[in-house]
Amino acid sequence: MKKLNLVFLLLMFFAIGSQAQSYTKSNLGIKTQINSTDVEIQFYGPSTVRVLKSPMGKTFEKKSLSVVKTPQAVKFTVKKQGDIVSLKSNKLKVDVDLKSGKISYYTLSGEQLLSEKEGATFTDFNDAGSKTYTINQLFTLDKNEDIYGLGQQQRGKLSLRNTKLNMVQGNTDDYVPFLVSTKGYGLFWDNYSPSVFEDTPESTSFKSEVGDCIDYYIMFGGNIDGSIACMRDLTGQAPMFPLWTFGYWQSKERYKSQNELVGVVNKYRELGVPLDGIIQDWQYWGNNYLWNAMEFLNTEFPNPKKMVEDIHNQNAHLIISIWSSFGPQTKQFREMEPKGMLLNFGTWPQSGLESWPPNREYPSGVQPYDPYNPEARDIYWKHLQKGLFSLGIDGWWMDSTEPDHLDFKPSDFDLKTYLGSFRKVRNAFPLMAVGGVAEHQRSASSDKRIFILTRSAFAGQQRCGANTWSGDVNSSWQSLRNQIPAGLNFTMSAIPYWNTDIGGFFAGAYNRGWSEGAKNPSFQELYVRWLQFGAFTPMMRSHGTDIPREIYNFGKKGETIFDAIAKTINLRYSLLPYIYSTSWSVTNNQYTIMRALVMDFNDKKVKDMNNEYMFGKSILVAPVVNAQYTPETIVKSDAETGWDKKDATGEKKGAAVNFTQPKSMKVYLPEGTAWYDFWTNEKINGGKEIVKATTIDEIPLYIKSGSIIPFGPQVQYATEKKWDDLEIRVYGGANGEFTLYEDENDNYNYEKGAYSTITFTWNDAKKALTISNRKGSFPGMLAERKFKIRLVASGKNTSNEYDKVIVYKGKKIVTVLP
């Protein structure tokens, strides 16, 4: 009997061992069970692998909110050697340890990209009555690699190494669970619940509060751009914005009447200062009980259709504030509330009265809606289309898309949404809210490109025609410094369009001691430097509370600050052909406009550089982020305290400041190329720090050797003049190429091929510029034009003379420059 028991135990042992060592090949990869965990490896493409893990035998259906790609047929091999099963495509090798469960990723040459530290962790979790898990996965990173992304954080730092992030969407923090590495891979953690990312010397981990499974993607792009391209292939491509969105935008909190709003546009036209858009902020609907009614119920806006027409007649555009919540007296609230489409937690505003602090005896009753519910999104668009879109308004300022979650209680996460508890889907709120508007507008019309300005984002939102701004940030130098790495990490999260409130949102401290804060030199200096930074972001938009930001508030023509503002706006417009062509590269080639230096230069000194970046492939931007003329006032406020004008503190009125004095700052020029000072044409070899002279109207800008940059005409709005007389600057010292893109500037005909490209190629050895045959066509395309060619060399061509003027009729031209 004992012998039989022994044989039985041996058989059981081998059976268990055999089960642990087994796997099943599928069309996409393999399936296996390891240490009581179901594991599935799927090739979504030759460069992208999906990993799914769940407790053994637990069935579930996971439909991603971010991923839109379906797996493509990929040729791959599977080989087993000992405990290791290796899957290999023509781009990537994946090893699965059938004993420990650890998964490792390699290039085809055998270089390890990333490895799990250990198997998955599933901890039982009761999610508002649903049995699920808290999930955790640890990875091992190379100690010398740097990682970036995970959305926007106000940390003032670029690299994510040795960082812990509590990833829950907020006003000024937008979390996108996608990171990229200097080793050439990207990692997307596909989970929507509150999560913690932590990188320590021992491990790097993602831990999410709830999840039926662990679901992540590894993609190997070879470099940061390639990994971003893989992520967009997975979650959606970024469409083209209209040309007018790249001009200058004026806003404030808020224009209180129809006459005031139209008057701002009229004043810019009178002054001859370029302007393409104006924004109407909140309360055009009236009181807070009518919050976000999406109708002009405020009597100060008596004829909104005429208002829109007046703005359009001045060749400007209007976008308008809409929110993710509704007041109890709105039609939307009354339609959604009986259907359970509202989320009853504290949000902005907290009082039905306009007062600070909020009068809690008169609660606003405002509640966010459930954007996870398709019917709720239909209702949202129905009212938006009828109340605003029908008026011809050009785009949407979707505020509080995180949304505001005030007086937070843990039980708020138990609230039911269409897709389960709010906890389960919390971080995807902006994707669903913004995506709902984008999808409905695109279905309604293809004549006008979708343009959405929004305060929050999630993975995949680049496909929605949205530009995310950094929230209600403070008006301080430290806040300005924070915006650069915040924006760079955001754009490295595969969402290319980002901007900030130029001047910072909460600026009340600068009113102390001044009848007008715009006359306070401390604010003037900060504002001008922020504006110069904003000129080199994907959207140049001035906005804030307490201090009006229209140019005429800062003085008049001929005065130093006014002229510095006008010069910066005009510089932005001269670069529109460069910017618009770069935006086409975003759509067509998965490019990124606002670029961390580490994306373009193999230079260890730029891996964690927080104060410089590339704008497109040619322009290095080094914003002035420290006060040079005034004391650097410490200003602290947030979305709660910033509205409290009584507590505003700041510098008292003092002596006049001489903004005409020259100053200087240090700039690092990356190695591997030569650089041209944009203002003087001085040529400097990279790989060193220099001291650059600055003035209040100029920041350090450097052009990479081998660049070709088109400059547009002086205009009052983006489409005022055709690009029939462009200046083409060639920065010698290296070979270069640039493709000029043109289309109808608005509508989706470009998707049908209605656009043209002209490629300029520079051969530095021969000093020859080749202008290619024009490719493509579109209605209204120029048949003939002039290109004024200027070869930039150190100390050469600072006058208005050109080296060549070429009449171009769409056929190839080769010209040698002196």
Active site residues: 399, 402, 472
Residue 97 phi/psi, 5-degree rounding, is: -85, 110
Residue type, 689: E
Work out the angle between the directed axes of helices 374-387 and 429-444 (0-180°, nearest 10). 50
Residue 762: is it exposed, middle or buried by C-beta count within 10 angstroms (0-12/13-18/19+)?
Answer: buried
Residue 583 phi/psi, 5-degree rounding, is: -65, -35
- Report whether 544 contacts 253 (CB < 8 A): yes
Nearest alpha carbon to residue 453 among 484, 498, 493: 498
The CA distance from 487 to 485, in Å, is: 5
Write down the residue that tokens 């405990």 correspond to. 83
The SS3 of residue 571 is helix
User: Which region holds residue 294: left if phi is over 0, alpha if psi is between -120 and 50, else beta?
Assistant: left
Residues 6+ apart with CB under 8 A from 390: none
The CA distance from 608 to 611, in Å, is: 9
Residue type, 265: V
User: Which region holds residue 512: left if phi is over 0, alpha if psi is between -120 and 50, else beta?
Assistant: beta
- Give kind and range of the element (H or E) at residue 16: helix 2-20
Q: Are strands 785-792 and 725-731 parallel, antiparallel or unpaired?
A: parallel
By residue count, the chain amounts to: 818
The CA distance from 224 to 187, in Å, is: 11
- Report whether 384 contacts 293 (CB < 8 A): no
Peptide bond before residue 254 is cis, with ω within 30 degrees of 0 = yes
DSSP designation for 113: E
Residue 304 phi/psi, 5-degree rounding, is: -65, -30
Torsion of the alpha carbons at 466, 469, 470 and 473, rounded to the nearest 10: -150
Residues 6+ apart with CB under 8 A from 420: 127, 128, 130
Nearest alpha carbon to residue 44 among 77, 73, 79: 73
Nearest alpha carbon to residue 234 among 252, 260, 212, 216: 216
The CA distance from 512 to 7, in Å, is: 89
The CA distance from 774 to 756, in Å, is: 7
Residue 416: is it exposed, middle or buried by C-beta count within 10 angstroms (0-12/13-18/19+)?
Answer: middle
The two tokens of residue 219 are 């993609």
SS (H, E, C) 327-386: CCCCHHHHHHHHHCCECCCCCCCCECCCCCCCCCCCECCCEEECCCCHHHHHHHHHHHHH
The CA distance from 220 to 226, in Å, is: 7
- Report whether 401 contacts 433 (CB < 8 A): yes
What is the Cα 533 distance to its own chain's centre?
A: 15
The CA distance from 477 to 408, in Å, is: 30
